[in-house]
Amino acid sequence: MASRFKSVILRHTDSIKRSNLSGIKDTIRSRVTTANHDNGYGTNEFINLNFYDDDNYLSIVKCINGGYYIIEDMLKFMSNYNDCGQKHIDNLKSCSKKSKSKVKAQSTLSSYHTTRAAQLKTICAPSLEAEYLQARHDAIQEVIDECRTKLNRIYPKKSSNSSPKHNRTDYMIDSFEAARSVLLNLSEKLEKLKEQKRKKDAALLEAKILCENLSYTHGVKESKTEKASNSRKKHEQQLEEIENDIARSEDEYEQEKKTYRVEARRIYEKCRVLEEERLELIEDTLIKFVKAAYSSENSMQYRAIYKELKSYFIDELNITEDLDFWAQTYGVYDSTRSLSTETNQNDDAHDDDDGEEEEEQEEPSSADTTTSSTKTKSKKNQKQDLL
């Protein structure tokens, strides 16, 4: 009956384990899927702008400089994770230490032999677990320190008040500005010419209005009309020259834009290498962190603790032996009631001088020997099933 009851419990426990494991796997898949879809690209000041227009080249400069804070946030998470781990390690050590003291202080009347040893061995397991976790903690800290060393080299701080920037920031900006200098000069020249055109258009309009008014006015001297006409023609000639200058400057500007695009692209490719190095630092650090925190090596270490305890429970922990130990200690031991000695008793030989008594004494049957052996094996098998 007891065996059948244990079997039912084991099947039920096993089904719970499978159910829980399935639920955990589904949760992990769900969270990974959510994480993969939670990376929509948000807005920023350069979104939808042309890289080659105006000073939009600053997008790549700000991208690289802003990368410092991205890595800082990543390292902050890892440090927080490690701090949580260290608290857990300290708690495990404290738990093990306190529990070990309690067991040692327990009365030997109720706490004894292999069962007491099994308790102590189990209580010491958290300390061993803490050692494994400490090694993992230290490995993660090495990853953090390595990344931070590289981060400080790439983004050196000149002072405590200054914002961190990439060590090639000044070079990048100077290169883009030098490439844009001719284009900027042409742009300023065009703006001045267009301003001159606006003024000349206004002056020409006034000259035309004056000429038209004089043509409808009687008694106007011919010299005044001629002067107004000459002024109008002069404005028209000057306006034409300005428009020709604008056309030439616009041609030069368009040609220089092409030249700038080529040069800006070349500089961008250099910036791209710097950005690639930053992204590789993030990737490398994340991979090392995941390996240190979640690799199969950690599960192997837990497995080693489990195997050691399992081996002890199966091979060393013996309740019958403990009961006999207590009985022997307190003077109530009866070898005929001990399962641990039944098998040995069946193997004892009697003296030859007691031949008649030997004939009269009932020898242990093979069934009794088989029963005691079966009981011992049964208990061992039950523990193996439970573990």
Predicted pLDDT of residue 319:
85
Predicted pLDDT of residue 370:
53
Question: pLDDT tier at 305 (50, 70, 90 boundaries)?
Answer: confident
Residue 381 lies in a domain: no
Q: Which domain holds residue 256?
A: 180-274
Predicted pLDDT of residue 283:
95
| Residue 254 CA from chain centroid, whole number | 48
Question: pLDDT tier at 5 (50, 70, 90 boundaries)?
Answer: very low
pLDDT reading at 76 higher than 70: yes
Question: pLDDT tier at 341 (50, 70, 90 boundaries)?
Answer: low
For 375, counting Cβ atoms within 10 Å of its Cβ (0-12 exposed, 13-18 middle, 19+ buried), the class is middle
| Residue 347 CA from chain centroid, whole number | 65
Q: Are 135 and 66 in contact (CB under 8 A)?
A: no
Q: What is the mean pLDDT of residues 304-310?
A: 85
Q: Which stretch of DSSP H or E encloses residue 161?
A: none
pTM (2 d.p.): 0.70
Predicted pLDDT of residue 211:
87
Dist. CA 261–CA 53, nearest whole Å: 9
Question: Could you tell me if 73 and 154 lie in one domain?
Answer: yes
Residue 354 lies in a domain: no
At 274-290, the pLDDT tens digits run 999 999 999 999 999 99
Question: Could you tell me if 127 and 158 lie in one domain?
Answer: yes
Question: Could you tell me if 259 and 310 lie in one domain?
Answer: no
pLDDT reading at 16 higher than 60: no
Question: Could you tell me if 97 and 243 lie in one domain?
Answer: no
Q: What is the mean pLDDT of residues 154-166?
A: 86
More confident residue, 303 or 19: 303
Dist. CA 365–CA 205, nearest whole Å: 136
Residue 379: partners with Cβ closer than 8 Å, 6 or more residues away: 319, 320
Residue 74 lies in a domain: yes
Predicted pLDDT of residue 221:
80
Question: Could you tell me if 234 and 299 lie in one domain?
Answer: no
Q: What is the CA radius of gyration of the chain?
A: 46
Residue 280 lies in a domain: no
Predicted pLDDT of residue 308:
87
The string of DSSP codes covering 346-384 is HTPPPPGGGHHHHHHSPPPPHHHHHHHHHHHHHHHHHHH
The 8 Å CB, 24+ separation contacts for 189-194 are: 189/249, 190/246, 190/249, 190/250, 190/253, 193/242, 193/245, 193/246, 193/249, 194/246
Question: pLDDT tier at 371 (50, 70, 90 boundaries)?
Answer: low
Residue 251 lies in a domain: yes
Identify the DSSP state of 219: T
Dist. CA 12–CA 307, nearest whole Å: 23
Predicted pLDDT of residue 268:
95
Question: Could you tell me if 260 and 322 lie in one domain?
Answer: no
Residue 205 lies in a domain: yes
pLDDT reading at 322 higher than 90: no
pLDDT reading at 355 higher than 50: no
Question: pLDDT tier at 142 (50, 70, 90 boundaries)?
Answer: very high
Q: What is the mean pLDDT of residues 1-12?
A: 43
Dist. CA 105–CA 387, nearest whole Å: 29
Mean pLDDT of the chain: 82
Question: Could you tell me if 305 and 161 lie in one domain?
Answer: yes
Question: pLDDT tier at 376 (50, 70, 90 boundaries)?
Answer: low
Residue 365 lies in a domain: no
Question: Could you tell me if 90 and 62 lie in one domain?
Answer: yes
Dist. CA 311–CA 318, nearest whole Å: 12
Dist. CA 346–CA 367, nearest whole Å: 11
Could you tell me the two tokens for 259? 């030249």
Question: Could you tell me if 97 and 152 lie in one domain?
Answer: yes
Predicted pLDDT of residue 302:
78
Dist. CA 76–CA 82, nearest whole Å: 10
Question: Could you tell me if 82 and 154 lie in one domain?
Answer: yes
pLDDT reading at 159 higher than 80: no
Question: pLDDT tier at 39 (50, 70, 90 boundaries)?
Answer: low
Q: Are 384 and 315 in contact (CB under 8 A)?
A: no
Residue 128 lies in a domain: yes
Question: Could you tell me if 255 and 114 lie in one domain?
Answer: no
Domains identified in the chain, total number: 2
CA angle (200 as vertex; 195, 202 as ends), nearest 5: 100
Question: Could you tell me if 162 and 184 lie in one domain?
Answer: no
